[in-house]
Structure 1
Amino acid sequence: MKYVSLEPSEWAELLKDMESFIISLKYWLVKRKYYHLSLLIIFSLFMNFHPSSNDLILAENGVAYYAIYYGENESIIIRHAAEELAHYLEEITSADFEITNDPNIDKKLIIIGRNNTLTEAIEDKMEFSSIIADGFKIMAHDGNIYISGKIDRGTLYGVYYFLDVYLGVKWLSPDFEVVPKKNTLKVDAMNDLQNPRFLYREIFSMDTDDAYFRQHNRLNGCRGETHREYIEYPPEINTWSRYAPQGEHNFQDVVSAEYYYGGQILTMEEAVREEAAQYFINKIASHGTEPWYSFSQEDCGWIPDDVSKAFAKEHCGKLSAPVVDLVINVTERVRKVYPDAHLSTLAYQWSFEPPCDMAVPPYVMIELAPIDANFGYSYNDTHNSMIYSAFNGWSEMASSLAIWDYITNFQNYLQPWPNIYAMCQNIKYLSSIEPMKVYFGEGAYNTEGAEFAELRAWIASRLLWDPNQNYKELIDEFCDYYYGQASPYIKEYIELLHHAFLQSNEKLRVKQPITSNYLSLDFIKRADELMAKADGVAEGIYKKHVHEVRIGVDMTILLREHLYKAEAEERGETWHHDEKRKERFREYVKEANISYYCEDLPISYLLEAIDVDRIKASKPDIVSSQDEWIDFQDLDMQYCCGAHIVEDMEASDHGALEYDGKEWAIVLPLDLLPEGNWSLYAYVRADIKENAMPDDIAFNMGIYPGLEREIKVRKIKQGYNVFEFPSILNNSTIAWFSCGNGSRSIYVDRIVAIKNDVRIVKPKNGIYVMDRYILPFNFPIIIGKITVEAEISGNAKKVEFYVDNELKYEDESPPYQWQWNEHAIGWHEIKVAASNGEDSVQVFKIY
């Protein structure tokens, strides 16, 4: 039977109303001789409106009915949990909750921790055998409330869970919490055992790095501590999981330089394995046995040695095979000295796909890092078929898995990046993979102010504990608390952003350019309206929270307003230029304490970039009217390592990327190209050193995997020069630039892609008589001679003419043509071929 719970004052008022009602009902029933029925009905009414015996009233009218108790021998962590509980209970009720070590105090108790006589007396009911590391149980028993985990961190999380789920305290960011105010504080009697789905849970983001925030939200990881030297870990909350792999990208730190090869190491070399094993034996001797030490590839490509390549070939050609074999072998050697030793290794980039015919023992963890995913869709979506297949493969061969997830746009932390829904769906999917126990979500780790960083961390913390929650309800809950009056506009904006992405049919990359199609004119106009409305209604701290979102919209417009304006004019629409936008953006960036806008580029570079007064670029001079071509401007490229946008009036749109280093710092991902055979041409200007020699290198450019070109100083002319990239191979992934020893810096304006193509332009459908077009028809009919004409685009230098696959003629200069003047009757195939493609047409010839 379900009881209705009411406040005492409400009961008094209700009983008065019920008294008159019951007297009237009794009189009516007795008058009609239904006396026994009247007693039954009255009894039933009282039973159904009886105050619920399940209610536990913690405080009322500023008076605490409970005290907080923990055992005398409990740790500083348990004592702190009790103090926090007392603090927030007082904030909620204005009542003073006593903290005591006396179990016989004349009050009901909230009992914190395991090491006390009261908890020990009901240990069987607390079910500690069913609780895992961070788990806990909250239980009402004999009017008292018990909160305890198996370990101290579990008890700490039990207190935080009680405050959050039962009492409504929300820690939404390190500097913003919600504490409800209640005159009467009551909770239902509970019997709640909680275990997290993921043993290790970390969101690596500076916006949410505060240790208290992470612990309040039960994020137990601190793997990124090498980047968090600025964080203090007070002893009262300094309890973290070490279950995640420690270290990454360390092949060449572990073994000697003589064993380096092809960007990595000689994985199958016996000496490498022995040296690596000794390294980890020494590490364990000095640092102890971590749950997992990482032994992983360098963060670059690999040109493998022949032995490693041969081993990969034996296992379905996957380069992960020699790496996995190496790590298993090294771990087994270490375990001969330290039987509890465990190692992990990354499945990342070239090693992401699993090998076949191999098994990974439990003492080796595979850490999956799907950096090439489409982050706008979940990993088990059809848009991520390769990722999904790899996850399945690894889960079948390994019993210990971790995920290194990517939850921000590493090209621009501030840019609208519609990954929130997919991030939530991914956690749900990953929870279905039984060996997956570790979640490490990498966000903007080196700056505050990243797009929706607080929202992502808060929602992820809940889903990592219980993936079955409704993530859209969690988004609504966060927005209602965090944005206040502006919440409806922010929620509409989030939905608008994700819908725009789905409509764009784009791939959402880990480094996404600001020129992405989902940031369309229609999207940005509506987004700008929503931000103005949100900013207009928000007050106090909520206004600052709205500004954090508006930064991304303003920045997008400031960087590509020239494109929006041109498109609006083409559509016959008015583009509204906001004179206050740039000043507002600078103000909000300062307010949000943003120091970097991507991994290694300070915010000052972005503030310079928005000052570039861009124009719409003109058609490249190397493109003909017949060419199919694509223009990739500096805003379309990925850049790092000090490369940054500058104003350059010689550039096609008055903006260019400047770079002065030796890294491959300016990159164009080749999957931006549609299918087909393409040639790439770069417009580059070099600032040559005064003492440079003609054969010094002005800059390097190349295709990876593939060839590179050294552009020497003597090839450089004043202004922008056009240089062709080496040919794109089937497995090529990027086009890149680096500065040479002969230049102070280089400036990259644009990369122009021209599709390599050859087309028959004559004959087309119709009737031809003696080389003259006479009448239209459904297919070509040729009477007498015909001049076959072809056009080419791209880098072809010669066209071959075939009839029925027999070579008839080669033409090495335009116009490309050949006269077919042979006697022939019936159907024939005319084909033209060049180095960059071919085209053919079926004709019917008479004479």
Structure 2
Amino acid sequence: MKPFKRFILSIFAFLPLAVFADFSLVRNGKPAAVILLDAKATKSAQLGAYELQHHVKSITGVELPIVAGNVSPGMNTVKIGGDNSGLTGDSSKIEFRGNTLLLTGNDSPVFEKVDYHNPDTFPKLEYECKGSLFAVYDFLELYCGVRFYGMDEAGTFYKASENLSVKEENRVFSPQMDAFRYVYYKDKRFARNEIVPRDFALWQLRWRMSSLYGRNNHNQYSIYFAHWDKAKMYWLGRAFKYKRKELFAKGYDGKMADVDAILRGNYPNDKDLPPQLCYSNKGTVDYYAEEVLTYFNGGNVRGGWMNFHGNIPPNRTLVPRFEGKPFFYPIQGGDTGGHCLCPDCRNRFPEDTKDDVSNNKFQFIADVARKAAETDPAAGVSSLAYIQTLRYPDKVSLPPNVSVQLCLPICTWWHPVACQKQMDAYREWIAKEGQKRPLTLWTYLFSPYYDSRRYFGNYKPFPGLYPWKTGELFKMFAKDGIKGWFTEVDMQCNHLEAYVAARICYDSSLDPGQVIDDFFEHYYGEAGPVMKEFYREVEKAYWNPANCPEEWLMDKNVVVGPKGELHPYWGMGLHSPDVNWSLGTPERMKKLAGLIEEAKKLTRTPEEKIRLQRFIDGIWTNALEGEREYRLDKMKKSELPYRLQVMTSGNINGDLSKVDWSKSVKTETWQNLYGKTAERKCRAELVADSEYLYLKFTDGSPAENVLNFWRENFEVFFHDGKGYPVFHLAVGPNGTSYQYKHILKDGKDTVEPYEFNAVISSSSTDESWTVLMAIPLNKLPLKGSQMSLNFMRTTPSGNAVWNPIFTDSYIKGIDRFGVLHIHP
């Protein structure tokens, strides 16, 4: 029977006479069944018993007893766990046997006692089978009409009744995406509500999250701890054996390269630390083949997968093997780029570039997998196809013991070119490898909030809601045979998208349209149709290629956004404030406001009111405030930039000790990049003579202790008022300076060294930071007596500028610089 038909039967189960039902749990407000556990029950079965008891009580007000051993004659029995032969992975079974209902599944043999109030005792998401627990959740949803929409009890739907009976229908179920299903949400807040650890853990399990094989993330650390140098952390430091520099990427000596945070944390001052490995080196291949076999045989490695702190004994099994399921050990470098520049790596695939290293990377993965297979063909390797490696590696033959997880930023697929480029890559992987190995996904269910926070100064955006498009895409993924799914999402912003995806990934037979219809009916009650119209209106605006600016579509082979060309396999950074709020037109915002007001009138139950208020708090209020702030920012942008007038005085030949700062011209209060109040109190003072411009920068707060120069500095930019070339001088707290000239080359910003011949002094204390400069006027782009300039203070906690530039990119804000006049 199809799930929808089964749910119709469960509705009849709530009728007082229950004439269509033949297995009763509660009858006329009294228990009609007991919950039975084995004397030695798995954690999965124990938690399943507590969850069934809890939700039956929520529906009926009646608490079913949980017993072990014999039950009273005449009572229906709900047996949870056991009798599960032939089931593998997270497979489950619902079976009616006279007056016994069996809810069971394949469980890992973990028998510690579960405390229903302590999430630390619950079954684990990672590497633990939970079939019995999932059988309970399937029973509650498909037979009893419960829905787990949210992250706490306010998000759970059921219909109250003093009777609970269900139609007997047996079911054996195995998720198609049996490798993993995982929703990653690190904030643990929903709207303005903190989700407590117990609710968070139950939400993950109720959404059937699980990870048994093939999931990937960054895991290319242990080789550094063994063969680069002794790590800073105690246990990882003990892993060091001896130096083997040949195993690591070449070309990064002395560059203080951008590397993964775990590596930088263990080698904080190492300027030679390479970001990646040498993929062509046989020793690197041999090292990781041995690590694969170590985990395959039940051990682990300090700094390897699940032991990143190195404090877990090497003989403990961290990645178990499951009967009937393949084994894959994850190998994946950091997000930093910086691949090997040695002749062997560059010559074996000369067509590879810094933006596309698919062949080199997957040749390495293939080599490791083949080496491990020489010992045991079942020892597999998994890795990510991610940005620089999403393109199908057409020069590489992958062995059968490789699994690949494709990273797809599907939230950008409203952009026609981004969609086409990424869909083409996905389709090629499916066509050429889908029948040969498990292919899995890492999706990004983001919306404009992500671009706002990451690229555009954290403005408050018009929302991006797209549950119908999500359902369409995930049905496609399921049809294509995808075996596992991991997603990043902000549950405050895209809760329904995550719910729809999770339901389809667990049970690909579901109709996403019906899942969405049920959500609005159950979650908002009589306000459901109104909220459904709200979502439709937003999705129609957000996921609409017609709203893509025309200039972005001039070249169908290049993904273009508000800051120019983007990597075709990433494409984030599309929603600048102007692009985003072109969707939130006054007419649309008025319509949406009307729908919210109508929904307020139609919610009836306390739960419905809470759910609507959470939507308002988490999405709508932010949009209302964002609309107002955007209109004000537009007015600010139309304002004339700040100007400074400096009169020259007697020459002091660049001697900073002779500057009379009491005669300086001072800047106005600095703001953040987008014209809001800056946290730091910064100012610049200027004095000039006929040969030099003297500049004094003061930050009223101390400089932060940051290794990366470009995250902690003071910068000043100059141009002649027409844009390029732009002259750029940056100073760090220790007095280190970088001096550049930016030019346009082939339409792109290109940086060249430049020498200002400036005298620079930096003084940093526990209370403030001051920089003094004397810059020769003949090194500045004065046009007559004036030029454009801006001052920038860069810190990890937020930036400050003299003239707001309304972009995170300093060089892209040159049209918003202030003006300096130097008069004789």
Please indicate the TM-score interval, normalised by the length of the shorter structure: 0.5 to 0.7
CA shift, 1:216, in A, is: 1.6
Rg larger in structure:
1
Q: Is the 8 A contact 1:739 1:745 kept in 2?
A: yes
Q: Which residue of 2 aligns with 1:309?
A: 346
- The amino acid of 1:505's aligned partner reads C
Change (3 A) 1:368 1:620: farther
Secondary structure of 1:168's counterpart equals coil
Change (3 A) 1:67 1:182: same
Q: Which residue of 2 aligns with 1:325?
A: 363
Secondary structure of 2:90's counterpart equals coil
Instruction: Choose from 220, 224, 244 the match for 2:210.
Output: 220
Instruction: Choose from 215, 219, 244 the match for 2:215.
Output: 244
Structure 2: gaps (5+ residues): 109-129, 190-194, 229-244, 252-274, 301-313, 320-326, 454-459, 550-558, 562-570, 643-670, 679-698, 713-721, 759-774, 810-814, 816-824
Distance in 1 of aligned mates of 2:438 and 2:502: 21
CA shift, 1:302, in A, is: 4.4
1:723-734 aligned at under 5 Å gives the runs none
Q: Which residue of 2 aligns with 1:432?
A: 479
Q: Is the 8 A contact 2:223 2:287 kept in 1?
A: no
1:626-645 aligned at under 5 Å gives the runs 645=674
- The amino acid of 2:401's aligned partner reads Y
Q: Does structure 1 residue 191 correspond to structure 2 residue 170?
A: yes
Q: Which residue of 1 aligns with 2:565?
A: none
Q: Which residue of 1 aligns with 2:98?
A: 142
Distance in 2 of aligned mates of 1:349 and 1:7: 51
Q: Which residue of 2 aligns with 1:836?
A: none
Q: Which residue of 2 aligns with 1:504?
A: 547
Secondary structure of 1:615's counterpart equals helix
Q: Which residue of 2 aligns with 1:749?
A: 805
Secondary structure of 1:411's counterpart equals helix
**How high is the sequence identity, in percent, across the aligned residues?**
16
Larger strand proportion, structure 1 or 2?
A: 1
Distance in 2 of aligned mates of 1:474 and 1:61: 31
Q: Which residue of 1 aligns with 2:615?
A: 549
Q: Is the 8 A contact 1:249 1:299 kept in 2?
A: no
Q: Is the 8 A contact 2:34 2:71 kept in 1?
A: no
Secondary structure of 1:331's counterpart equals helix
Q: Which residue of 2 aligns with 1:211?
A: 201
CA shift, 1:196, in A, is: 1.0
CA shift, 1:691, in A, is: 9.4
Structure 1 residues 787-827: Cα deviation after superposition (integer angstroms, max 9, x where no partner)? xxxxxxx9xxxxxxxxxxxxxxxxxxxxxxxxxxxxxxxxx
Secondary structure of 1:418's counterpart equals coil
Change (3 A) 1:697 1:334: same
Q: Which residue of 1 aligns with 2:328?
A: 292
Change (3 A) 1:328 1:709: same
Q: Does structure 1 residue 165 correspond to structure 2 residue 142?
A: yes
Instruction: Choose from 519, 525, 537 the match for 2:590.
Output: 525
Distance in 1 of aligned mates of 2:59 and 2:73: 23
Q: Is the 8 A contact 1:201 1:220 kept in 2?
A: yes
Q: Is the 8 A contact 1:251 1:296 kept in 2?
A: no
Instruction: Choose from 439, 455, 470 the match for 1:423.
Output: 470
Q: Which residue of 1 aligns with 2:280?
A: 268
Q: Does structure 1 residue 202 correspond to structure 2 residue 244?
A: no
Distance in 2 of aligned mates of 1:321 and 1:440: 24
Instruction: Choose from 353, 368, 392 the match for 2:430.
Output: 392
What TM-score does the superposition give when structure 1 sets the normalisation length?
0.58
Taking CA–CA contacts closer than 8 Å with sequence separation of 6 or more, which of the two structures ends up with the larger relative contact order? 2
- The amino acid of 2:201's aligned partner reads A
- The amino acid of 2:751's aligned partner reads E
- The amino acid of 1:202's aligned partner reads Y
Distance in 2 of aligned mates of 1:385 and 1:216: 31
- The amino acid of 2:547's aligned partner reads S
1:358-507 aligned at under 5 Å gives the runs 358-371=396-409, 374-376=412-414, 384-392=422-430, 395-396=433-434, 398-409=436-447, 410-412=450-452, 415=461, 416-434=463-481, 436-444=482-490, 450-453=492-495, 455-501=496-542, 502=544, 503-505=546-548
Structure 1 residues 619-670: Cα deviation after superposition (integer angstroms, max 9, x where no partner)? 999xxxxxxxxxxxxxxxxxxxx99644389xxxxxxxx999858789xxxx
Change (3 A) 1:745 1:88: closer
Change (3 A) 1:740 1:188: closer
Change (3 A) 1:157 1:664: farther
Structure 1 residues 503-552: Cα deviation after superposition (integer angstroms, max 9, x where no partner)? 41369954433332333343333223333443565574544433443343
- The amino acid of 1:450's aligned partner reads Q
Q: Which residue of 2 aligns with 1:182?
A: 161
- The amino acid of 1:168's aligned partner reads G
Secondary structure of 1:189's counterpart equals coil
- The amino acid of 1:441's aligned partner reads T
Q: Which residue of 1 aligns with 2:666?
A: none
Q: Is the 8 A contact 1:374 1:383 kept in 2?
A: no
Change (3 A) 1:710 1:171: farther
Secondary structure of 2:619's counterpart equals helix
Distance in 1 of aligned mates of 2:727 and 2:612: 40
Deviates more, 1:361-370 or 1:406-415: 406-415
Deviates more, 1:333-342 or 1:189-198: 333-342
Instruction: Choose from 676, 691, 710 the match for 1:647.
Output: 676
- The amino acid of 1:60's aligned partner reads R
Q: Which residue of 2 aligns with 1:151?
A: 107
Change (3 A) 1:387 1:529: farther
Q: Which residue of 2 aligns with 1:84?
A: 51
CA shift, 1:99, in A, is: 2.6
Distance in 2 of aligned mates of 1:61 and 1:71: 29
Distance in 1 of aligned mates of 2:389 and 2:599: 45
Q: Is the 8 A contact 2:740 2:751 kept in 1?
A: no
Distance in 1 of aligned mates of 2:204 and 2:494: 16
Aligned length: 578
CA shift, 1:325, in A, is: 1.4
- The amino acid of 2:392's aligned partner reads P
Change (3 A) 1:296 1:644: farther
Q: Is the 8 A contact 2:392 2:425 kept in 1?
A: no
CA RMSD of aligned residues (A): 4.9
CA shift, 1:138, in A, is: 0.9
Change (3 A) 1:389 1:6: closer
1:17-166 aligned at under 5 Å gives the runs 55-103=22-70, 105-115=72-82, 119=83, 128-129=85-86, 131-151=87-107, 153-166=130-143
Q: Is the 8 A contact 1:699 1:710 kept in 2?
A: yes
Q: Is the 8 A contact 1:367 1:402 kept in 2?
A: yes
Structure 1 residues 201-247: Cα deviation after superposition (integer angstroms, max 9, x where no partner)? 111013488111111221224xxxxxxxxxxxxxxxxxxx4552354
- The amino acid of 1:420's aligned partner reads P
What TM-score does the superposition give when structure 2 sets the normalisation length?
0.59
Change (3 A) 1:420 1:7: closer
Q: Is the 8 A contact 2:105 2:135 kept in 1?
A: yes
CA shift, 1:289, in A, is: 6.2
Deviates more, 1:314-323 or 1:173-182: 314-323
Distance in 2 of aligned mates of 1:525 and 1:452: 22
Q: Is the 8 A contact 1:92 1:180 kept in 2?
A: yes
Distance in 1 of aligned mates of 2:407 and 2:361: 15
Q: Is the 8 A contact 2:742 2:751 kept in 1?
A: yes
Structure 1: gaps (5+ residues): 12-49, 222-240, 566-611, 622-641, 650-657, 667-678, 725-736, 754-793, 795-847
Secondary structure of 1:260's counterpart equals coil
CA shift, 1:274, in A, is: 3.1
Q: Is the 8 A contact 2:366 2:397 kept in 1?
A: no
Distance in 1 of aligned mates of 2:607 and 2:29: 28
